[in-house]
């Protein structure tokens, strides 16, 4: 019996309007190998579970449905790490959340071929379009600036990701070896456990294990701020503060584990996270401190204006965020 080479992990929650397109993109893949799709529904209250059942019945040789009766995210369960990775049968892992979708039928084949050809690379990623919820507008691309296809040293990625705060690659493009993720899980590395976002942990894992291979071709789409997404659930100010505290612990643990190989980048990242915490706490002593000068310069003019006005008139900040919530709905 032929072995499965790739496991695709798809997580969903209340995404009845999107899940069909996500699954269709996974099923349209043209490969010369077998692959499976583990679809996890986190106790959705809409029609998402029934749609997943429908696809599982139609494609039983590919779709592996996991339908929860109780929400696992609310219990603090890291669904991919704790539940899905251990049951994956593939050598490689690819990812796609239920509100995102793949656009190229050759995506899996291309990434598998590259990972087999470049053993020094621990992950293969590609360009991703960040689109509006209704798919009518391209908001941004990941990465923002065009990059040539090829091997990218881990040091270069960590500099842009940690020191400069760039979110280079999106989760829908990740393609990595299962054995690396299982090792992170089994050894319970601090950065792996403490990371506030799983995709951030995967990028640190990749830097720990090797270099990156980038394909300069858009092969998936990410709905920005869609219903059910983690980003949409993480806009509360207090949550942002806790998130940044977790980021500090995460990168400091990573720094120690890598024998300070990316130390200068980590220091810059910690400074940025502390700046964001100070913004939430309205700690103007830290915000306006000389060592935060570089962070201050990188802020958009409207953010700098908000901070300066709030220092003079504390009530302005509450007004600003109320207005933002009315306009953006977050």
- What global pTM score does this model have? 0.89
- pLDDT at position 10: 98
Share of residues in the chain with pLDDT > 90 (%):
74
The answer on pLDDT for 233 being more than 50 is no
Span 84-100, average pLDDT: 97
Distance of CA 25 to the CA centre of its chain: 19
For residue 85, the SS3 value is helix
Taking CB atoms within 8 Å and a gap of at least 24, the contacts of 152-158 are 152/211, 152/212, 152/213, 152/214, 153/211, 153/212, 154/206, 154/207, 154/210, 154/211, 154/212, 155/261, 155/262, 157/203, 157/206, 157/207, 157/212, 158/207, 158/262, 158/265
Higher pLDDT: 324 or 13? It is 13
pLDDT tens, position by position, 241-297: 999 999 999 999 999 999 999 999 999 999 999 999 998 888 888 888 888 888 888
- pLDDT at position 254: 97
Least confident of 58-67, 105-114, 220-229, 319-328: 319-328
Reported confidence tier of residue 179, pLDDT bands at 50, 70, 90: very high
Residue 116's alpha-carbon distances to 122, 157, 170, in angstroms, are 11, 21, 22
Angle at 124 between CA 56 and CA 4, to 5 degrees: 35
Q: Which domains does the chain possess?
A: 4-228 (3.90.550.10), 232-328 (no CATH)
Span 231-246, average pLDDT: 77
The H or E element that residue 203 is part of is helix 198-209
Among 216, 120, 115, which residue's Cα sits nearest to residue 175?
115
Among 237, 258, 142, 127, which residue's Cα sits nearest to residue 192?
258
């Amino acid at each position: 019996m032929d072995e499965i080479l790739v496991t695709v992990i798809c997580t969903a929650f209340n995404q009845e309007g999107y899940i069909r397109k996500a699954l269709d993109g996974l099923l349209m893949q043209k490969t010369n190998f077998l692959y499976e799709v583990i679809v996890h529904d986190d106790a959705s209250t809409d029609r998402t579970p029934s749609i997943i059942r429908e696809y599982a019945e139609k494609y039983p040789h590919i779709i592996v449905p996991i339908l929860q009766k109780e929400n696992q995210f609310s219990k603090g369960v890291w669904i991919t790490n704790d539940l899905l990775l251990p049951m994956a049968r593939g050598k490689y892992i690819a990812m796609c959340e239920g509100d995102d979708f793949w656009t190229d039928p050759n995506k899996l084949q291309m990434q598998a071929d590259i990972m087999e050809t470049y053993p020094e690379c621990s992950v293969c990623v590609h360009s991703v379009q960040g689109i509006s919820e209704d798919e009518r507008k391209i908001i941004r691309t990941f990465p923002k600036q065009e990059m040539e296809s090829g091997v990218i040293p881990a040091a270069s990625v960590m500099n842009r990701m940690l020191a400069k705060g760039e979110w280079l690659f999106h989760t829908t493009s990740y393609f990595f070896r299962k054995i690396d993720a299982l090792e992170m899980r089994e050894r319970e590395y601090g950065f792996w456990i403490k990371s506030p976002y799983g995709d951030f942990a995967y990028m640190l894992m990749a830097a720990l294990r090797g270099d990156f291979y980038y394909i300069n071709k858009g092969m998936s789409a990410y709905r920005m701020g869609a219903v059910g997404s983690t980003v949409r659930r993480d806009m509360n100010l207090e949550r942002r503060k806790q998130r940044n505290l977790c980021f500090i612990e995460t990168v400091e643990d990573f720094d120690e584990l890598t024998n300070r190989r990316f130390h200068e980048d980590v220091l810059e990242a910690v400074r940025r996270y502390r700046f964001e915490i100070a913004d939430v706490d309205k700690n103007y002593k830290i915000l306006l401190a000389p060592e935060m000068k570089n962070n201050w310069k990188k802020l958009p003019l409207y953010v700098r204006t908000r901070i300066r006005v709030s220092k003079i008139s504390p009530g302005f900040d509450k007004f600003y965020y109320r207005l933002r919530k009315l306009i953006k709905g977050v």
